[in-house]
Amino acid sequence: MKLNNNYRDLKESYLFTDIGRRVAAFQEEHKDVKIIRMGIGDVTLPICRSAVEAMKKASAEMGEAEHFRGYGPEQGYPFLKEKIRDYYAERGVKLKENEIFISDGAKSDLGNILDLFSEDNVVAVPDPVYPVYVDTNIMAGRKIEYLDATAKNGFLPAPDKTIGADLIYICSPNNPTGAAYTREQLAAWVEYALVHDAVILFDAAYEAFVSEDHVARSIYEIEGARECAIEFCSFSKTAGFTGVRCGYTIVPEELEEGGLSLNKMWLRRQTTKFNGVSYIVQRGAEAVFSESGRKEILDNINYYRKNAEVISSTLKDLNIYHTGGKNSPYIWMQCPNGMDSWDFFDRLLKIAGVVGTPGLGFGKNGEGFFRLTAFNTHENTAEAMERLKKLIG
């Protein structure tokens, strides 16, 4: 028996463990302090009424002989795929139903998609970014090239001659920086991928937070993207499904290499290794697209957007460089007075009782930065900002 030795190359994932440990130790010593958590990457508002009702109804159906359903199609029920197709069509993006694959979330698909690509591909990953892209490729032993995302390029790296990658990850709106590519900026990546025979893996998990017209919500808004891009999306942040689990991946028919269709390969992969998402969950996801569902999820997103505005305007008043928040629930701020990200974490916790996420946890370029999230209540967000003002102002 031989193990996958690539696992030896993974860095221990200390970030959230470390945060948890430091917060617990502080709380133990200061039981009277009300700690406000502004580091959470999880939603806090409950699932919208329309989705809850649809899931209740679907649960009841499963107990009725005439409505019971066993195994469903591995790639998802047509009733949900049609809704996703129509959602994209509203933005002028035409998809075929067989190009949409329903899954239990974007994280699984982002990892599983690598089954389609040989291990000797070089991958380009922005730094800082959602750590899953790096770790899944280390597990497969692939060479990683980092794309520097810094204040200089607005945290949105552009293609250049130095990049020699076959697979390119783009996360827009970005976790952790909140930066989001305009259509024009994305067009440069699509052109690069087409010329270099590369595939873009586009993570649109936060597309529902986009508020600016010039920002793309889907890579397929860009001409040529159907020939070079796979898109991942999720109901997690759009509709609070982080605990329910549902997402989807789009693999256009045009994607092919040496006579092999990536769409057919993904279908083969999914039908072999995956047995589909629960019928109940898919009915819940379908209801997100109903008239009432859309209104309800927008209300929730607007609730978080208000928090992002409060954080942003506080940082502006304090003259602290920051980005994000407009098209994303994340605000990426520079640590004050040149502090490193863990020093600022400790200061913010010990003096203000506020928890955020040190930027270093998302890559080396995250050093000196800090992620605050809009996923708390209005009251806690306002209180946390008052404490921040006292600490820095």
Residue 315 · residue 161 · CB < 8 Å:
no
* Cβ closest to ligand PLP, residue 130 vs residue 220: 130
* Cβ closest to ligand PLP, residue 330 vs residue 385: 330
What are the CA-CA distances from residue 141 to residues 81, 135, 224, 331 (Å)? 34, 10, 30, 32
Q: Of 107, 121, 75, give the one whose Cα is nearest residue 272.
A: 75
**Min. distance of Cβ 176 from ligand PLP in angstroms?**
8
**Min. distance of Cβ 234 from ligand PLP in angstroms?**
3
Q: Where are the alpha helices (DSSP H) in the chain?
A: 15-29, 49-62, 78-89, 106-112, 132-139, 183-196, 236-239, 262-273, 279-288, 291-317, 341-347, 378-392
**Min. distance of Cβ 6 from ligand PLP in angstroms?**
22
> Does 218 engage in binding with ligand PLP (CB under 6 A)?
no
> Does 236 engage in binding with ligand PLP (CB under 6 A)?
yes
Determine the straight-line distance between the first and last CA of the chain, rounded to whole angstroms. Answer: 60
What are the CA-CA distances from residue 83 to residues 78, 96, 277, 290 (Å)? 9, 12, 16, 9
Residue 366 · residue 34 · CB < 8 Å:
no
Residue 361 CA to residue 366 CA, distance in Å, equals: 7
The residue type found at 33 is V
**Min. distance of Cβ 330 from ligand PLP in angstroms?**
9
**Min. distance of Cβ 73 from ligand PLP in angstroms?**
20
**Min. distance of Cβ 155 from ligand PLP in angstroms?**
14
With vertex at residue 231, the alpha carbon angle to CA 129 and CA 241, rounded to the nearest 5 degrees, is 75
> Does 203 engage in binding with ligand PLP (CB under 6 A)?
yes
**Min. distance of Cβ 237 from ligand PLP in angstroms?**
7
Among 130, 209, 289, 370, interactor with ligand PLP by CB under 6 A = 130
* Cβ closest to ligand PLP, residue 231 vs residue 353: 231
Can you count the helices (H) and strands (E) in the chain?
Answer: 12, 15
* Cβ closest to ligand PLP, residue 128 vs residue 336: 128
The interface mask with ligand PLP, positions 244-283, x = CB under 6 A, is ---x------------------------------------
* Cβ closest to ligand PLP, residue 88 vs residue 130: 130
* Cβ closest to ligand PLP, residue 70 vs residue 243: 243
The interface mask with ligand PLP, positions 134-173, x = CB under 6 A, is -------------------------------------x--
Which residues sit opposite 357 in a β-bridge? 371
Near ligand PLP in 95-114, by CB under 6 A: 105-107
Distance of CA 266 to the CA centre of its chain: 21
DSSP line for 312-323: HHHHHHTT--EE
CA dihedral 123, 128, 133, 136 (to 10 degrees): 100
Near ligand PLP in 172-201, by CB under 6 A: 175
- By CB under 6 A, the count of residues binding ligand PLP is 13
**Min. distance of Cβ 33 from ligand PLP in angstroms?**
28
> Does 242 engage in binding with ligand PLP (CB under 6 A)?
yes
* Cβ closest to ligand PLP, residue 230 vs residue 352: 230
Q: What are 134's two structure tokens?
A: 């790096």
Q: Contact positions toward ligand PLP, by CB under 6 A?
A: 41, 105-107, 130, 171, 175, 203, 205, 234, 236, 242, 247
